[in-house]
Structure 1
Amino acid sequence: MRTKIIATIGPASDSPEVLTRLIRNGVRIFRLNFSHGNASMFTDLIALLRRLEQEHGVPLTLLQDLSGPKIRIGELRQGTLNLDKGDRVVLGPPGAEMVRDLPFIPFDNPPILESLEKGDKVVLSDGVMQFVITESLPLGAFEMECQNTGILTSRKGLALPGKPVNLPAMTDKDKKDLRDGLALGVDACALSYVQTPEDILTAKAIIAEHGKNIPVVAKLERQNAVDRLDEILAVTDVVMVARGDLGVECPLPMLPAMQKRIIRACNRAAKPVIVATQMLLSMVSNPAPTRAETTDVANAVLDGADCVMLSEETAMGSYPVETVKFMVEIARQAEQIHFEERKLLPPAEEKGTPDFLAYSACLLAEKTEADAIVSHSMSGASARMISARRPRQIIYGLTPDQEALRGLNFSWGVRPETVDTNLSGHLERAEHFIEGCPVITPGSSVVITAGQPKPGEKSRGTNLVKIYHK
């Protein structure tokens, strides 16, 4: 299977036994959700995963998911509100309860309140409850009309579809969590509610301060982030299509097309892309997914997703291992359709030499019916570019750099491998790996890409494509 699976760890999956089964079934990226705690909660878990990494002999990527500036209402005095379509409520800061004799929703966020105006849409509880502001009231409060029937409880998220929210993606908690996570040894961080390229650069600056170079995942959850996708792609390492909050921000009928466009842009930029949220949600409590869910996962793979992510399914569901097994098989079947229908596509004309070398390697592998592609690079960039072309062959990404090694787990079809640094030449390292790899059998043809410098010169990147016969 070429598609990568990300599993969120929670009470259902944090035992050595379950984690071992997840690894054996192909999970290589584990998501640590910092929305529900801080670094101290993950110390033992990270140590356990590193031990399992050694036992299984495969690189595991620990993805720290930062909580971001989640906007929430306060505690409802009644505990819950049962609302019907057409009901009116008041949204406002503490102290504004008495401005009108209506149910009161406390919301203490002055910058957001100051931006509201009549006619704005307000969505609560991940889209479950929808309102329209009908009137501005004293003390910074607003009257709203309910647009549907439902139940509202305390501390639910608030979103303003179509309205820019000028809050930085990294809160003080996120900055502390990232620093603590780096100290614990996380391999990547996901930034929630990204809106601008500067959000990504803020995280990268903190990472650089700690002498690290781990990938940053830009979670696209707001419309204005999608509007600036090209700028964000220029600075981020990975993109996540976070369909939960994004589905609140934009009309739901637009979401499938938006997902496809985001994935297409990431593929063109050779940046790995993750599709997330409610992929096999019914398996939280059922041993098999719905037909719609299986189609959703398959379509994400066919769209070009590098990774598909499980959240509640593995964190708190009753069937975490079974969910992964279903996802593996769905992805495997979708990949067969991909290989039957899709042809190698050349890079865009404005792309540079590295992109065309990667394409040449894939084309050579296809025309010669090679058994594998082996790509050696220090940063892993060459393997990612090859991955973006979606060749039929497995891509072995060789690197001596441990950060680059674990970063390659995000790329479709790439198997990260550590190389023998006792050998100085990159080509020599690649050939040595092929000779020692038991999966590549004698008589196999392998396409190699490497950065082979002239004697006495430092490598300047990939400059060689070669067919090697084992």
Structure 2
Amino acid sequence: MRKTKIVATLGPASSGEEQVSELLQAGVDVFRLNFSHGTHEEHTATVGLIRKHAEQQGRSVAILQDLQGPRIRTGMLAGGVPVHLQPGTPLILTTKQVDGSADMVSVTYGGLPKDAHVGSRIFIADGSIELRVVTATSTELRTEVVRGGKLGERKGINAPEVHLNVKSFTDKDQEDLHLGVSLGVDYIALSFVRSAADVEEVRSAIWASGASIPIIAKIESQEAVERLDEILQASDGVMVARGDLGVELGPERVPMLQKSILRRANELGVPSITATQMLESMITSPSPTRAEASDVANAILDGTDAVMLSGETAVGRYPLEAVRTMDSIALEVESHAPRIDMHLEYSSDHSHSLAHAATLVAEEVDATAIAVFTNSGFTAQLLSKQAPMIPIYAFTSREDTYHRLALWHGVTALRGEFAEDTDALIAGMLGELRDRQFAELGRNVVVVRLSPPGGRHLANFITVRVITL
């Protein structure tokens, strides 16, 4: 059973009913809805399809709402036709709405001319086009094209040398968040996080909506890297957003930044997603490059909880093949790799030590599974961060926990009813594992129950049971 989780972005190539069902069967654990694109009506319909087919297949699947954030984009072009920008030629970026050309293009952020300064580098279209600011007025930036290329409509703009006076949590994000809360999404990803305060602002908005949804902080700027610890401690998860991170800091820095972000996330027990261009060539090709296969493998060896597909499944020609490829790479790596030492920083709470002990016991007795009953997901998450070689089966009666555990490394969530009688509770869990062929007759199962800090004061225990008829 694969332990690394797969996140797939839905889009025009994959959001139909048949495609969603097939992607689930191929092994998707988390569906990402990119709110930079699509209407509220389209996202509402997609959530309905995911829940419907996950239920039909008996799968625990999480939905990740990815908020757009303060994304700055170019405007529309005359006739919708892409233009070619030549190195050494001038290009005006204007805050006015114009039909763009090779001489002048609109930008969506009105403060860009005020924030930028002469000499600033500006990148467009994932860094493929580079401009340098020559002069600035209140409404225009006159730039020189340093690295040219084909420019289409509504392409992303990055200005790594400019401090942009924009909010991480925009008005559009607030509207989208309200929709996500009403639809019952399982995670919310916050784009262009710069500090813990950005995360707390969104958390307050979630609470004000009467919900409690975990927040995934996307690390994609120098500011976020510099404040990584405070962001991780304020968040419920982290995404290594390598696209904008590479544009902002340079592609040569991404590999080591990825390793350091994942290492720190694991030390703090925070779930992680590695994203962007993992199997990029599969947008147009049915098979990956060798470098892409190595990239996915190395992210897994770095200790990521999940690997993510973006354009590969959203707009690519081979979304199913991309998921199957990622699945096979993960299984191959996991079959050879030893258990990763996460170097966890243990709190004074004894639950962390007990989770570590449970993992050691399971390996010592050659257990076929670790079984837990969890209300909030706390116990399963603690065990997940121990990265045991043995699969973790988490039984829960809460629907939100059932879905959210789909993101956590090595955890399979199952529905179950809590019983006050410990023996009855354990018997029910073991019977379910046996009936669903998750555990073989005669094999050991380590059963764990831990109480979270401030939770119900139930007796903590670790016990070894044998699967019987």
Question: TM over 0.5, yes or no?
Answer: yes
Q: 2:123 corresponds to which residue?
A: 123
Paired residues for 1:386-405 under 5 Å: 386-405=383-402
Identity %: 36
Secondary structure at the residue paired with 1:147? strand
Q: 1:381 corresponds to which residue?
A: 378
- Return the offset for 1:55: 1.2
Q: Deviations over 1:407-464 (max 9, x none)?
A: 111111000122213x1256752442113322222222122221379xxx97247832
Q: Kindly indicate whether the alpha-carbon contact (under 8 Å) linking 1:425 and 1:452 is maintained by their aligned counterparts in 2.
A: no
| Structure-2 change in CA distance of 1:196 and 1:12 (3 Å) | same
| Structure-2 change in CA distance of 1:367 and 1:315 (3 Å) | same
Secondary structure at the residue paired with 1:35? coil
- Return the offset for 1:316: 1.9
Letter in 2 for 1:436: E
- Return the offset for 1:232: 1.1
Letter in 1 for 2:120: D
Deviates more, 1:169-178 or 1:147-156: 147-156
| Structure-2 change in CA distance of 1:461 and 1:318 (3 Å) | farther
Residue 356 in structure 1 maps to residue 356 in structure 2: no
Task: Write the distance in 2 (CA, Å) between the matches of 1:304 and 1:167.
Answer: 33
- Return the offset for 1:108: 5.5
Paired residues for 1:255-266 under 5 Å: 255-266=254-265
Paired residues for 1:150-161 under 5 Å: 150-161=149-160
Unaligned runs of 5+ in 2: none
Task: Write the distance in 2 (CA, Å) between the matches of 1:7 and 1:386.
Answer: 25
Q: Deviations over 1:232-264 (max 9, x none)?
A: 111211111111111111111000110111111
Q: Kindly indicate whether the alpha-carbon contact (under 8 Å) linking 1:378 and 1:404 is maintained by their aligned counterparts in 2.
A: yes
Q: 2:35 corresponds to which residue?
A: 34
Paired residues for 1:56-75 under 5 Å: 56-75=57-76
Q: Kindly indicate whether the alpha-carbon contact (under 8 Å) linking 1:284 and 1:312 is maintained by their aligned counterparts in 2.
A: yes
- Return the offset for 1:7: 1.3
Task: Write the distance in 2 (CA, Å) between the matches of 1:173 and 1:390.
Answer: 38
Residue 434 in structure 1 maps to residue 430 in structure 2: yes
Task: Write the distance in 1 (CA, Å) between the matches of 2:209 and 2:397.
Answer: 20
Q: Kindly indicate whether the alpha-carbon contact (under 8 Å) linking 2:266 and 2:343 is maintained by their aligned counterparts in 1.
A: no
Residue 111 in structure 1 maps to residue 111 in structure 2: yes
Task: Write the distance in 1 (CA, Å) between the matches of 2:115 and 2:458.
Answer: 49
Q: Kindly indicate whether the alpha-carbon contact (under 8 Å) linking 1:452 and 1:464 is maintained by their aligned counterparts in 2.
A: no
Q: Kindly indicate whether the alpha-carbon contact (under 8 Å) linking 2:115 and 2:163 is maintained by their aligned counterparts in 1.
A: no
Letter in 2 for 1:63: L
Name the TM-score, length of structure 2 as normaliser.
Answer: 0.91
Paired residues for 1:161-310 under 5 Å: 161-310=160-309
Deviates more, 1:186-195 or 1:389-398: 186-195
Q: Deviations over 1:136-180 (max 9, x none)?
A: 4x4443332222232233432211114333322221111111111
Q: Deviations over 1:194-239 (max 9, x none)?
A: 2222222222223223332222111222221121111111121111
Q: 1:464 corresponds to which residue?
A: 461
Q: 1:410 corresponds to which residue?
A: 407
Q: 1:86 corresponds to which residue?
A: 88
- Return the offset for 1:81: 4.1
Q: Kindly indicate whether the alpha-carbon contact (under 8 Å) linking 2:65 and 2:180 is maintained by their aligned counterparts in 1.
A: yes
Secondary structure at the residue paired with 2:244? helix
Task: Write the distance in 1 (CA, Å) between the matches of 2:206 and 2:455.
Answer: 26
Letter in 2 for 1:210: S
Q: Kindly indicate whether the alpha-carbon contact (under 8 Å) linking 1:32 and 1:63 is maintained by their aligned counterparts in 2.
A: yes
| Structure-2 change in CA distance of 1:76 and 1:9 (3 Å) | closer
Secondary structure at the residue paired with 1:21? helix
Name the TM-score, length of structure 1 as normaliser.
Answer: 0.90
Letter in 2 for 1:301: I
- Return the offset for 1:321: 1.2
Task: Write the distance in 2 (CA, Å) between the matches of 1:331 and 1:414.
Answer: 15
| Structure-2 change in CA distance of 1:410 and 1:343 (3 Å) | closer
Q: Kindly indicate whether the alpha-carbon contact (under 8 Å) linking 1:427 and 1:450 is maintained by their aligned counterparts in 2.
A: no
Letter in 1 for 2:95: P
Letter in 1 for 2:300: V
Task: Write the distance in 2 (CA, Å) between the matches of 1:427 and 1:311.
Answer: 45
- Return the offset for 1:350: 5.3
Secondary structure at the residue paired with 1:42? helix
Unaligned runs of 5+ in 1: none
Q: 1:142 corresponds to which residue?
A: 141
Aligned length: 459
Q: Kindly indicate whether the alpha-carbon contact (under 8 Å) linking 2:91 and 2:144 is maintained by their aligned counterparts in 1.
A: yes
Deviates more, 1:159-168 or 1:298-307: 159-168
Once superposed, what is the RMSD of the aligned Cα atoms? 2.5
Task: Write the distance in 2 (CA, Å) between the matches of 1:434 and 1:366.
Answer: 18
